[in-house]
Each structure stands twice: as C-alpha cells, then as structure tokens.
Structure 1
Amino acid sequence: MTTSPPADAHLREELTSRESLAKGNFLEVRRDTVKLPDGHSATREYVVHPGAVVVIPLLDDGRVVLERQFRYPVGQVMIEFPAGKLDAGEDPLVCGQRELLEETGYRAREWARAGAMHLAVGYSTEIIHIYFARGLSLGERQLDHGEFLDVFTATPDELLGWCRDGSVTDAKTLACALWLQNTGSGAWALDWQGDSARG
C-alpha cells in the first residue's frame, strides 16, 4: 500500500552532514549541511536548546505576577513572566511548578497548559511551553545561586500597555500577553487541572 507524500514535501530540507561548533553547559552550536528541495546544498547554523517553560501566574484579584531581571546578552533589565529551562527528561509542568516556586515563592492550586512557542525558528531549536497558574499561595523564594530578580504584580491592562509602548520586549512575555488577553476575554478556553496534573 502506498501513501501520498505530505503536502509540505516540496519545502523540506534533508540533513547530509553535521558539525558541532561549540558546546557549553546547556547550549550547543551546530552547523549542518542540508540538501535543498531543488537538489542544491546549503549550510544551517543553529543553537540546540533543551527547551523551557513560562508561567502566567494569576492572582485572585486579577493581577499577574511578573519579574524584572537583568539579561546579560541584551544588557538591560527585562520585564518577564517567570520562566526557566527544562532539565533533561523533565516534564514541562514539573518545570513550571519548580520555577514558579524558586523565582517567586508562589505555589499554585491549579494549572492549565496553554500551548507552546518556538522562540527563534531561524537559528534555535528552543521551544517554550506556556502554562497558566491560579489559586496562588505565597511562601519563600528559592533562588538559584547567582540569580537576582525582583518580583512584582500588575494588572493585565498595565502589562498590555507596557507591551504596546515598548517597555516589554521579551518575546515569550509578549506571546503570553496575547494568551492572557484572549483567555481573559473568553475567546480562548483553558483546561484547568489540580497541581498534581501532568502536562
């Protein structure tokens, strides 16, 4: 029995060789040689990333929990939702629960997976899983050694205003603001689960 090729076959590139250019503690830079759809060859240089999770923490009064953190590559303090990279083999929900507690001190009673985003498809494999958290209770933060950040709260309207005026330029936070806006209006639904639910 034969099957028809996928509709995107005329766009796909085929790996012919791979070279590792650099490998750090959690990132690797690769240069692949690929065969293009027209038969020609090209190189693709990209960063291999383990993936990450971002959390949109909702307080009972409607505000959201945000962070301010200095990001060395861009040389500035950024406004962001809590987030962190996945450990090897880690469930994204477990990562989100861990990062929320470590960075903000909050635990959540309920979680909802919103979706995922590819952050920089031209040069990175990074995927970020998006979770909402509600029913928050505040405890002690457990920051990693060498981690410095401020935790604060804002209304969704304040956050959207900062997205509009350029105060927020972090891509994951901009994408989460879209989710927040659409779930808040009822346009997009979430499937809430207890805190022991998995992804």
Structure 2
Amino acid sequence: MPDASDRHLRETCVASESLCEGDFLKARRDTVRMPDGTTSTREYIIHPGAVVIIPLLDDEHVLLERQFRYPVGRVMSEFPAGKLEPGEDPLHCAQRELLEETGYTAGQWAHAGALHLAIAYSTEIIHIFFARELQAGERHLDADEFLDVCPQSDQDFFQACRTGGVTDAKSLSCALWLQNVRSSAWALDWRPA
C-alpha cells in the first residue's frame, strides 16, 4: 500500500510509448520523473495477472505438473497456474485452471496472498490459492497444452526445491507458504467451493 512517507522514493510517468502489442503481453517504455527532478526511462511488460494453486492431496502430498516451457527450453515441475481472463475473479480462475489442467475439483479453497513475480520489469501479480478436499475428474486441456500431473510428497517437493529440480519462481515461493501452513505457523481462511 502506498505510504505518504515514501514520497521521496516515487517516480512519476511523464510520457509513455507502446513497444509491442501482443495477444498476451504488451511492452511499454515510459519516461519518468525521478524523486530529484531528473528523468529516466523504464521498460516493462504489461501482464494480465495470474493464479497459482497449491493442491493438497492429503496431509503429506501435493499435486504438481510437468510441462515444457518454451522460453527456457526445458520441462519444468511447477504448481498448477494460469492467467486471468479480462475481469475474471482470481478464485474463479484458480478453480477453472485446477480443473482444466489436472481434472481435480476442490471442496475448500483459501486465498494465501499475492506474489509480484518480476517487479523490475513486469506488472504481473500472481494470486496464491490453496485447495483441499480434492476430487479427481477429467482434464480439459487447451488445444496447445501438454502436461503431466504428478502427485508428490511434501518432502520430495522440498528436496527438489533444494536441489534444483524445481526452479520455477512461483513454485519456490509457494514452498514457503506450504512449509508454514503445514507447520501451522501460518493460518488460512478456508472457504467452501
């Protein structure tokens, strides 16, 4: 939340130009007035926002996915996630993405918090959700989606985070949430689906 005492740190946009208008992402270059009155430029990506889901299979297991991620050229292990459609409620998006990608529905949901993925060059915000009381069903993958659904013990997941088997930033951030929720250090406000 903005704080009045942060005025000496704020930058103000004085001009903005579009660099790219893609179907999914947009790139901009802004000229900003710095706190000392000088100007500088900021290039950044406009992202529609997203969700990530930490599906709890039971007290010791979670559900992960493995899929090829073209920009990094490798198969990644990660929690289910997806982008928000224009005007879409984040919880609705999380429920939709869990079903589409894994085939699971959840009896209870909890919003954990928000993650700003790349604050230096992107507007992306990812809403973190936990899901439990999972029921298996049929997946509804998009035509261009190919992924495996992988149940994993918490311990194997944490080990993969430690050893480089999981390097996805959102999933690594979710590991912190998972550890603290499992240890009861952080409470969640569970709600029925």
TM over 0.5: yes
Matched with 2:175 is 177
Equivalents in 1 of 2:168, 2:58: separation in Å?
A: 25
Alignment partner for residue 91 of structure 2, among 93, 104, 112?
93
Matched with 2:73 is 75
Whether 1:30 and 2:28 are equivalent positions in the alignment is yes
Matched with 1:41 is 39
Deviations 1:2-43 (A, max 9, x none): xxx801000000000000000111210000000000100000
- Which residue type is aligned with residue 46 of structure 1? Y
Deviations 1:33-58 (A, max 9, x none): 00000100000000000000000000
Matched with 2:62 is 64
Give secondary structure in 1 for the equivalent of 2:72. Answer: coil
- Which residue type is aligned with residue 145 of structure 2? E
Equivalents in 1 of 2:22, 2:127: separation in Å?
A: 23
Equivalents in 2 of 1:94, 1:135: separation in Å?
A: 17
TM-score normalised by length of structure 2: 0.98
Equivalents in 2 of 1:113, 1:152: separation in Å?
A: 23
Equivalents in 2 of 1:10, 1:157: separation in Å?
A: 45
Out of 5-14 and 27-36, give the one that drifted further: 5-14
Q: Which runs of 4+ in 1 moved over 4 A?
A: none
Out of 53-62 and 176-185, give the one that drifted further: 53-62
Equivalents in 1 of 2:33, 2:58: separation in Å?
A: 53
Matched with 1:124 is 122
Matched with 2:146 is 148
RMSD over aligned Cα, in angstroms?
A: 0.8
Structure 1 residue 61: Cα displacement: 5.0
TM-score normalised by length of structure 1: 0.95
Equivalents in 1 of 2:174, 2:45: separation in Å?
A: 23
Equivalents in 2 of 1:98, 1:163: separation in Å?
A: 26
Matched with 2:163 is 165
Structure 1 residue 146: Cα displacement: 1.1
Equivalents in 2 of 1:167, 1:12: separation in Å?
A: 38
Change (3 A) 1:10 1:61: closer
Deviations 1:129-172 (A, max 9, x none): 00000000000000001100000111111111000011110000
Alignment partner for residue 192 of structure 1, among 182, 186, 190?
190
Structure 1 residue 62: Cα displacement: 2.5
Tell me, which stretches of 5 or more residues in structure 2 are unaligned?
A: none
Among the aligned pairs, what percent are the same residue?
Answer: 65
- Which residue type is aligned with residue 13 of structure 1? E
Equivalents in 2 of 1:149, 1:8: separation in Å?
A: 44
Whether 1:134 and 2:132 are equivalent positions in the alignment is yes
Alignment partner for residue 101 of structure 2, among 103, 108, 115?
103
Out of 5-14 and 104-113, give the one that drifted further: 5-14
Tell me, which stretches of 5 or more residues in structure 1 are unaligned?
A: none
